[in-house]
């Protein structure tokens, strides 16, 4: 286990570092930067797991100074807005799940972005052709894909409900990192290069992330003084400084008239967001979903996210089988089949509950799960896609066969980030936040240092009255974010979550399977190779998963396709973070050892 405060201290290395943004490099001993990542840390007094050592260090700093898990989570999230700006930031949204040690309650905040009031049903249709915009790069690189950001409101609401700090104090670590910079790694450079065409389309984005026409070099120090100043504005004025006043006007103007470069050939459709939309935004307090699995209480995020209902339904299905008594391939077969069934119901029933009557209680009812489990053959994969269940009439008895629906098109992107935090008092946070696409809409608000989301692409592209995820003004698009907290005998046992678009659900589900049913330790459960079945003809799987289980699962009738997407060079599924709570009071923080360049786990007081 790495020591919590391991830092880059070589003066010669620091002096050799180039600096993005025209600042001057300083010796590392005068201005230390967190660069060393440890994927696992065990100890007492508090723990954190994120994808980035600067963010984890920010949370640990807050915990050391007496802040609680909510304070530390906001500090880590704000720092991720600096160091992971292509996955998270104040231009996006997310879902915050909190376990209150004093009351024993689990509560959530829905900070999902919303569609502007002027959003038309045909917003994603190219008026010149009458056809939908191509998803990439046209639709994702646009003002029309930008939803009203929810992240600042989420931070303020979390601190108001559970925190001990003001927002300004929680932002201090992030302001420091943005001001003195962070060391660029291979992942940051590669993500910049993956988005070079999109970033080059905007004057504000190219000047920040493509200085001199190229991505920042590995080992250089990247500073974002504009973002530091934006955070200082929030520190002074709270979220009123974001949702009202000059910044709100600048956000709206940027969406309605994106700052295109003269040379770009991308169409960049303009958006509809206004200052009135920003002023009307609110993060929503919400009850979590809850299912019981193997004697554990599993709490997740209710709609507008599909994470809690879909993960919960799949667990209810799997709870009817003795997975630990099966071979690993047999257990994985059941996991893939349960996931397909739950995704069929997700597509049929789940949307924003303010606009759609979502049968969340039925979807997470163990009796409904038992009935859906009837569809799983122990030795043979069902032909995909499978049909949704009937939430209006179920009794746990196996129903007659029904016709299968058409494949559900998945356009939810793999980016996003997740963080997990616990404090000395036993409070726990799992928080998933995003700007959707890796790089969001590609549009930086000029002079403000942050990217705007392209979250509205999570709506179905073509409007259909029968579709629960159809475009509607003021609506939250369906998400797959699945921040999860699991209790055992009323006390925290495990908290986890992941990025990954719709594979978030399967990543969380498979990690629970690995830990609870297959007997892996939490570090191995997070690191294990992954596969994702989302009710499609083939299973998306990491190459290592195919190598380990491909032939065995082929015998069940599964077709495995290597993972990878049109947006990045990676073939990874998810990038999970987790904390497990041991009976002796120790905490095990676990992050990815390799995915996205590896994550960062830290504890306040390390122990064996």
Q: Any idea which residues carry the catalytic annotation?
A: 416
Give the integer Cα–Cα distance in Å for 491 and 470. 39
Give me the residues paired with residue 562 across strands: 541
Contact 345, 310 (CB under 8 A): yes
Instruction: Name the region of 470 (left: φ>0; alpha: ψ -120 to 50; beta: rest).
Output: beta
Give the integer Cα–Cα distance in Å for 196 and 313. 40
Query: Is 337 exposed, middle or buried (CB count within 10 Å of its CB: 0-12, 13-18, 19+)?
Result: buried
Give me the residues paired with residue 430 across strands: 97, 420
Structure tokens at 527: 């690191």
Residue 154's nearest CA partner among 424, 492, 508, 481 is: 481
Contact 363, 349 (CB under 8 A): yes
Give the integer Cα–Cα distance in Å for 471 and 458. 9
- Per-residue DSSP letters for 162-209? H-SS-HHHHTHHHHHHHHH-EE--HHHHHHHHHTHHHHTTBHHHHHHH
Contact 318, 512 (CB under 8 A): no
Q: Name the pairing type of β-strands 491-497 and 484-488.
A: antiparallel
Give the integer Cα–Cα distance in Å for 314 and 335. 8
In angstroms, the Cα distances linking 544 to 123, 176, 497, 560, 595 are 40, 39, 21, 12, 12
- Per-residue DSSP letters for 556-599? TT--EEE---SS-S-------EEEEE-TTS-EEEEE-SSGGG--
Structure tokens at 234: 């929030």
Give the integer Cα–Cα distance in Å for 502 and 391. 22
Q: What are phi and psi of 174, to 5 degrees?
A: -65, -40
DSSP summary character for residue 231: H
Structure tokens at 98: 């909190």
């Amino acid at each position: 286990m790495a020591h919590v405060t391991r830092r880059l201290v070589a003066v010669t290395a620091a002096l050799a570092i180039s600096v993005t943004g025209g600042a001057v490099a300083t010796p590392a001993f005068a201005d230390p930067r967190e660069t060393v990542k440890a994927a696992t840390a065990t100890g007492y007094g508090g723990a954190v797991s994120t994808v980035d050592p600067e963010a984890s260090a920010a949370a640990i700093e807050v915990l050391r100074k007496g802040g609680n898990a909510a304070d530390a989570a906001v500090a880590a999230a704000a720092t991720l807005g600096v160091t992971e700006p292509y996955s998270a930031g104040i231009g996006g949204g997310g879902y915050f799940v909190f376990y209150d040690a004093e009351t024993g309650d689990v509560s959530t905040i829905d900070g999902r972005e919303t569609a502007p009031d002027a959003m038309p049903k045909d917003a994603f249709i190219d008026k010149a052709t009458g056809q939908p915009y191509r998803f990439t790069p046209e639709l994702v690189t646009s003002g029309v894909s930008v939803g009203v950001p929810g992240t600042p409101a989420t931070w303020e609401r979390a601190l108001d409900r559970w925190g001990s700090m003001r927002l300004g104090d929680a932002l201090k670590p992030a302001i420091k990192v943005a001001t003195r910079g962070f060391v660029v790694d291979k992942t940051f450079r590669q993500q910049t290069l993956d988005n070079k065409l999109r970033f080059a389309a905007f004057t504000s984005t190219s000047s920040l992330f493509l200085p001199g026409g190229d991505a920042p070099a590995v080992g250089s120090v990247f500073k974002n003084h504009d973002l530091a100043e934006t955070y200082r504005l929030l520190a002074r004025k709270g979220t009123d400084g974001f949702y009202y006043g000059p910044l709100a006007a600048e956000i709206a103007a940027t969406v309605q008239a994106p700052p295109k470069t003269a040379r770009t050939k991308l169409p960049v459709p303009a958006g509809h967001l206004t200052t009135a939309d920003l002023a009307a935004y609110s993060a929503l307090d919400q009850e979590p979903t809850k299912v019981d699995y193997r004697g554990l209480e599993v709490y997740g995020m209710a709609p507008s996210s599909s994470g809690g209902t879909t993960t919960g339904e799949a667990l209810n299905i799997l709870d009817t089988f003795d997975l630990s008594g099966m071979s690993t391939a047999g257990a994985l077969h059941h996991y893939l089949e349960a996931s397909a069934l739950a995704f069929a119901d997700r597509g049929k029933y789940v949307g924003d509950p303010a606009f759609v009557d979502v049968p969340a209680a039925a979807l997470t009812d163990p009796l409904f799960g038992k009935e859906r489990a009837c569809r799983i053959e122990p030795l043979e994969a069902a032909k995909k896609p499978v049909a949704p269940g009937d939430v209006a009439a179920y009794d746990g008895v196996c129903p007659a066969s029904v016709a299968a629906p058409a494949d559900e098109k998945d356009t939810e992107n793999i980016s996003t980030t997740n963080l997990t935090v616990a404090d000395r008092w036993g409070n726990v946070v799992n928080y998933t936040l995003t700007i959707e696409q890796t790089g969001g809409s590609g549009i930086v608000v000029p002079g403000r240092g942050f990217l705007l989301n392209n979250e509205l692409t999570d709506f179905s592209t073509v409007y259909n009255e029968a579709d629960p995820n159809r475009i509607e003004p003021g609506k939250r698009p369906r998400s797959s974010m699945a921040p999860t907290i699991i209790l055992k005998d009323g006390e925290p046992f495990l908290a986890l979550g992941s990025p990954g678009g719709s594979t978030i659900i399967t990543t969380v589900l498979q990690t629970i399977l690995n830990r609870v049913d297959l007997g892996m330790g939490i570090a191995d459960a997070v690191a294990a190779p992954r596969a994702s079945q989302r009710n499609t003809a083939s299973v998306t799987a990491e190459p290592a998963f195919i190598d380990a289980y491909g032939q065995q699962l082929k015998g069940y009738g599964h077709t495995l396709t290597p993972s990878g997407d049109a947006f990045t060079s990676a073939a990874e599924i998810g990038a999970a973070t987790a904390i497990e709570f041991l009976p002796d009071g120790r905490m095990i923080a676990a992050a990815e050892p390799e995915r996205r360049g590896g994550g960062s786990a830290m504890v306040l007081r390390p122990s064996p």
